[in-house]
Amino acid sequence: MCFSIAARAQTSTTAASPVLRAVVSETNPVPYAMFSAEGKLMGGISKSLIDKIGQLNQLPVLYLDVPRARVEGWLISNQADIGCFLSPDWVSRPKDLAWVGPLFYSSQLVVRRSNSKPILRLSDMYHKRIGTIRGFVYPELEQAFAERLMIRDDAHSLESNLTRLAQGRLDAVMAVDLSLGYVMSKRQFEIALSFDPLWTQPPAIFCAISLDSPLRPALLQSFEQLQQSGYIQQLLQQYQPTMAATTETSSVN
């Protein structure tokens, strides 16, 4: 992808030309990150938040399209300054990063066809094919996946997984509330879908900063300023109406 290659070529020049290097994976779900058909980051919560951090520090932002599984390594090795929509529970070396947050909490949902039985506990997913996002970690499900009690079936996006679910190719799909609401507000599926809340507490969502980034003190200060001002909650509120179709009932179609 041209955007990704160009970004990597510029990472070595940051010492001469100060720039805020931000990793945003194309597999981040909407509305956290929104990419064009050509793979260019066009908008979303992560972009709005990081753009604001760049403005506060009078720094241009260089967005690096990095596969989700490599985001942690890029931050630890200081190939990038910041990455968002992350959690210490989703990485292997959380102590090697500086964490900002929690910024908000994201409810996890299990989406299914409405004519199927509710999924209320882990055992309800046994022997089923579960739609997941490539590169994402699902702490509550990882052991069951490893023991092959259920099948993990990765896709590039939530919309792709929901399409496969509607077609009968999956038994259930993992999603988060904001993403599901956004997709369902933009797309209709040929069969009714419903969701069940995951049985665990909603995970806290953070941004992570490279410990070796020279921008770390300034970035931490900027995030504190935005949290105190209420900017982050105002930003999230812009996307809350998209959940209207899913808050009254478990049916999402």
Average pLDDT, stretch 67-79? 95
Q: In the predicted model, is pLDDT for residue 244 greater than 90?
A: no
pLDDT band at 239 (very low <50, low <70, confident <90, very high): confident
Residue 96 phi/psi, 5-degree rounding, is -90, 15
Q: In the predicted model, is pLDDT for residue 59 greater than 60?
A: yes
Compute the distance between CA of residue 98 and CA of residue 75 in angstroms, rounded to an integer: 10
Tens digit of each residue's pLDDT (9 = 90 or more) over 183-233? 998 888 989 999 999 999 999 999 999 999 999 999 999 999 999 999 999
Query: Pairing mode, if any, of strands 151-155 and 129-133?
Result: parallel
For residues 252 and 111, the answer to whether their CB atoms sit within 8 Å is yes
Q: In the predicted model, is pLDDT for residue 60 greater than 50?
A: yes
pLDDT band at 238 (very low <50, low <70, confident <90, very high): confident
Tens digit of each residue's pLDDT (9 = 90 or more) over 121-155? 999 999 999 999 998 889 999 999 999 999 999 99
Q: Which residue has the tokens 């504190």?
A: 224
pLDDT band at 98 (very low <50, low <70, confident <90, very high): very high
**Predicted pLDDT at 186:** 86
For residues 192 and 114, the answer to whether their CB atoms sit within 8 Å is yes
Compute the distance between CA of residue 180 and CA of residue 31 in angstroms, rounded to an integer: 9
For residues 218 and 57, the answer to whether their CB atoms sit within 8 Å is yes
Neighbours of 220 (CB within 10 A): 15
Tens digit of each residue's pLDDT (9 = 90 or more) over 29-51? 899 999 888 888 999 999 999 99
For residues 85 and 32, the answer to whether their CB atoms sit within 8 Å is yes
Question: Hey, what domains does the chain have and what are their CATH numbers?
Answer: 2-105+202-245 (3.40.190.10), 108-201 (3.40.190.10)
pLDDT band at 6 (very low <50, low <70, confident <90, very high): very low
Q: In the predicted model, is pLDDT for residue 10 greater than 60?
A: no
Q: In the predicted model, is pLDDT for residue 247 greater than 80?
A: no
For residues 21 and 8, the answer to whether their CB atoms sit within 8 Å is no
Q: Which residue has the tokens 């300054």?
A: 81
| Phi-psi label, residue 83: left if phi above 0, alpha if psi -120 to 50, beta otherwise | beta
pLDDT band at 27 (very low <50, low <70, confident <90, very high): confident
What is the rounded average pLDDT for all residues in the chain? 88
The answer to whether the bond into 31 is cis (omega within 30° of 0) is: yes
What is the DSSP-derived secondary structure letter of residue 17?
A: S
HSE of 93 in the Cβ direction (CA atoms, 13 Å)? 14
**Predicted pLDDT at 14:** 41
C-alpha separations of 145 from 20, 91, 137, 204, 229 in Å: 37, 17, 11, 23, 41
